[in-house]
Structure 1
Amino acid sequence: MHKRMNWDAINFDWNQVRSFLATAEEGSFSAAARVLGQTQPTVGRQVAALEAALGVVLFERVGKSLNLTSTGAELLLHVREMADVANRISLTASGQSQSVDGLVKITASDMMSAYLLPPVLRQIRLAAPRLEIDLVAANEIRDIQRREADIAIRHVRPSQPDLIARLVAEDSASFYAATSYLERVGRPNNETELAKLDFVAFGEVEEIIGYLEPAGIPITEQNFRLGSKSGVVAWEMIRQGFGVGVMSDKVAELTPGIERVLPKREPFTFPIWLATHSELHTARRIRLVFDILAEYFSCGR
């Protein structure tokens, strides 16, 4: 049985608490270190120092895994409340700023970050040359409420109640392959012939199959010999002639040596949402960037 904490006697070191929270949510010191931008030994030392300060065991080490103890689970509830309060204070303070300088974090997929956002970043620099822009290229959804980003560009509508979300465009995507690949294997004339070709996976194969099968593409896991969770890497594999993939039509237009497969087929469509926290939107620098992005996408880039 783990020792129960005396909450009245606790004096927190917030860095230790952040390391505990990240470790509890990510499941390991190494994953927590990546989230916090620190080294694994630093995170481990901070968690150990917190355990020593409280006189309790927060994690059970089972091989390479970390499991919360009952005391750790109890502390986690309180720490999350503290983090929410701290984040709200930070959001409110940021929202009061009316200066067109400072840092704005924008998160988008790696493909959008690499291929589609550079032109609008030039517009932002012209409009506000003192702004600092941190472009977080990530295919997983970043948490605006926890300040991992100020503005998110997403293909699904954000569901959190405290977010401002605006549908700014409907984009399209189609099947593409390198001309060199199609000249080697032949150009398919229909979906059945397309399903006989190699595909390059961007993300989880099961999800791709689940999306394409209802669209009339009878592919299986055997179609996928190569893939990557990085869209930039997967697209380069396609460009190098390893197979077929689905890609934004606007990205494909920017890529030489690529051609559309089944060009008469109706493209896929997907939405583009901009999201920011309702309190952050009152900050002039974030509102300015949000509005420039919204105009850029709504005008068709």
Structure 2
Amino acid sequence: MNNEGRDINWEWLRAFVTVAEQGSLNKAAETLTVSQPTLSRHLNALEKHTGVLLFHRTTQGVSLTPEGEALLVSAMPMREAYDAFSRALQGNDDSVEGEIRLSANELMAHHYIADHLVAFRREHPAISVELVVSNQQANISRREADVAIRMFRPQQLELKCRRIGSVDLGFYCHRSLTDEVKPLTDAENPFGELPMIGFDKDDTFIRHAAQLGINLTVDDFQWRTDSLETQIALLRAGGGIGIMHKNLAEKDKELVQIWDEVAIPSLDVWLVCHRDSWKNARIRALINFLSSRLGADLY
């Protein structure tokens, strides 16, 4: 090994750990908010500095070499220590200025929070907001986000959570399909011949159907997508039956609720940050603002 591991740039190690976790240069670059060429340069610099090939690179992605796996064991605690240091430093910041990374899913970002974020920046013009829009939860402990809007209560003890409201759900279809919908009591599978719009990897629809005594698998969905906005577009286009936020569906004259006698459990909405960051003035300002403004919309 060249240079005996001395003077290794932290950004190289951070790139190494993130790529190892993500298994993809594209995903790792998104996580670190750097360009893929920059990320590749960091990896190449680390490999050149150490004289160790860390990854096998193929058209399907990257995978750790045995040497890379061995070094990852040592690099992980370093990354965790760096994250803890960053959170502690952030938590001691009492200035209401700087940047906040806010994570939200598609529907929250597109339909619920834009007006509130604009109003927040009018009150706090020295704060910039980076909105991370993804249906995958950001890792707050690793500072992929400073604040997250979650549709479930996180169980990690290091996270501080505040419930601000809930979203009601219902089964919906395009109004042109209502004559084809069977009553729930008519058949074991009331979906009949109508296509179902559901998730690909997420099991939300399957769990809600099971609560009605309907056993489904992912193979029962004629439309499968983990994009919430695409599911809504398919509903509006008459693609079939799906689950949707009631307050969004009620604004669309082309969508009709079916089986409204069914009480699907609502989704609680939580604001989440790391306990180490709670003392940060700008993070508290955003959480308190959204608790008041967004929370009022959800009740």
The residue type paired with residue 165 of structure 1 is: C
Rounded Cα–Cα distance in structure 2 between residues aligned with 1:133 and 1:11 = 34
The residue type paired with residue 160 of structure 2 is: I
Change (3 A) 1:271 1:115: same
The residue type paired with residue 18 of structure 1 is: R
**1:214 aligned to 2:208?**
no
Rounded Cα–Cα distance in structure 1 between residues aligned with 2:204 and 2:253 = 28
Q: 2:28 aligns with which of 25, 28, 32?
A: 32
Q: 2:158 aligns with which of 155, 162, 169?
A: 162
Rounded Cα–Cα distance in structure 1 between residues aligned with 2:219 and 2:77 = 47
Rounded Cα–Cα distance in structure 2 between residues aligned with 1:123 and 1:190 = 44
Change (3 A) 1:130 1:69: same
- The answer as to whether partners of 1:201 and 1:227 remain within 8 angstroms in 2 is yes
Q: Identity over aligned residues, as a percent? A: 27
The more displaced of 212-221 and 255-264 is 212-221
Change (3 A) 1:220 1:149: closer
- The answer as to whether partners of 2:113 and 2:294 remain within 8 angstroms in 1 is no
**Pairs within 5 Å for 1:104-115:** 104-115=100-111
- The answer as to whether partners of 1:195 and 1:223 remain within 8 angstroms in 2 is no
Change (3 A) 1:116 1:186: same
**1:291 aligned to 2:285?**
no
2:80 maps to 84
- The C-alpha deviation readout for 1:79-133, integer Å capped at 9, x for no partner, is 2222222222222222222222222221111011111112422442343233222
2:227 maps to 230
**Pairs within 5 Å for 1:1-301:** 9-61=5-57, 64-182=60-178, 185-190=179-184, 192=187, 194-196=190-192, 197-204=194-201, 208-219=205-216, 221=218, 223-301=220-298
Change (3 A) 1:71 1:219: closer
Rounded Cα–Cα distance in structure 2 between residues aligned with 1:154 and 1:19 = 27
- The answer as to whether partners of 1:238 and 1:245 remain within 8 angstroms in 2 is yes
- TM (normalized to structure 1)? 0.86
- The C-alpha deviation readout for 1:268-294, integer Å capped at 9, x for no partner, is 322222110112111111101111222
- The answer as to whether partners of 2:208 and 2:264 remain within 8 angstroms in 1 is no
The more displaced of 202-211 and 289-298 is 202-211
- The answer as to whether partners of 1:195 and 1:218 remain within 8 angstroms in 2 is no
RMSD: 2.6
Rounded Cα–Cα distance in structure 1 between residues aligned with 2:66 and 2:151 = 38
Shift of 1:137: 1.3
Aligned residue for 2:182, secondary structure, equals: coil
Change (3 A) 1:249 1:26: same
Aligned residue for 2:47, secondary structure, equals: helix
The more displaced of 97-106 and 66-75 is 66-75
- The C-alpha deviation readout for 1:253-276, integer Å capped at 9, x for no partner, is 233321211123223322222110
- The answer as to whether partners of 1:188 and 1:262 remain within 8 angstroms in 2 is no
- The answer as to whether partners of 2:165 and 2:269 remain within 8 angstroms in 1 is yes
- The answer as to whether partners of 2:170 and 2:257 remain within 8 angstroms in 1 is yes
Rounded Cα–Cα distance in structure 1 between residues aligned with 2:49 and 2:181 = 67
Change (3 A) 1:226 1:297: same
- TM (normalized to structure 2)? 0.87
Would you say how many aligned residue pairs link Structure 1 and Structure 2? 295
Aligned residue for 1:272, secondary structure, equals: strand
Rounded Cα–Cα distance in structure 2 between residues aligned with 1:218 and 1:158 = 27
Rounded Cα–Cα distance in structure 1 between residues aligned with 2:130 and 2:177 = 37
| Runs of 5+ unmatched residues, structure 2 | none
Rounded Cα–Cα distance in structure 2 between residues aligned with 1:186 and 1:175 = 14
Aligned residue for 1:147, secondary structure, equals: coil
| Runs of 5+ unmatched residues, structure 1 | none
